[in-house]
Structure 1
Amino acid sequence: MEKIIHVHLIFEKKDYYFGSIAAIYTVLEPEQIGVKYNTLRNAKWKDISVYQTQRAIIKQGEIVRSKQL
């Protein structure tokens, strides 16, 4: 399974989906989500699946794909 990162911008009411934490910062600025790259990268993702700031909700999950028949 592949990981996916969902970013919900609270005030803009927009959702974005990324394949990595680094990819978030190619589209969004740290000010838009309320957290810098290094802080988000160093979050304890093995212990948490949601990271929330005053501006965004960031969730990490897995993509489930069907197997070829």
Structure 2
Amino acid sequence: MKIIHVHLTGKRKDYYFSTIAAIYDTLTASEVGMTLNTLRHAGLAGGGTVITKKAIIKQAELLTRSTRLKK
């Protein structure tokens, strides 16, 4: 599962989202430092990082514990 971490540098706040679009349900383009469409094309895929004047945005894989028991 992918997770997107948004760190607002001026406010020193961290947010975690499941999709790029979900970021803009909570934060404005002004708070993030770029619009939804620009962020979609900015290269987050594959664990990339995007840095704006207001935020650091990273996409990574969320590691979870396997629910299957090993014998």
Asked whether the two chains share a fold, i.e. TM above 0.5, the reply is: yes
Unaligned runs of 5+ in 1: none
When normalised by structure 2's length, the TM-score is 0.89
Tell me the percent identity.
Answer: 47
Unaligned runs of 5+ in 2: none
Q: Which has the larger radius of gyration?
A: 2
When the two chains are superposed, the root-mean-square deviation of aligned CA atoms in Å is: 1.3
**Which residue does the alignment assign to 2:21?**
22
Asked whether 1:64 is paired with 2:52, we answer: no
User: Bigger relative contact order, structure 1 or 2, given CA contacts below 8 A and separation 6+?
Assistant: 1
Matched ranges for 1:4-23 at <5 A: 4-23=3-22
Task: Report the residue type matching 1:36 in the other structure.
Answer: T
Residue-by-residue CA offset, 1:21-68 (whole Å, 9 max, x unaligned) = 000000000000100000001122346611000000000001111111
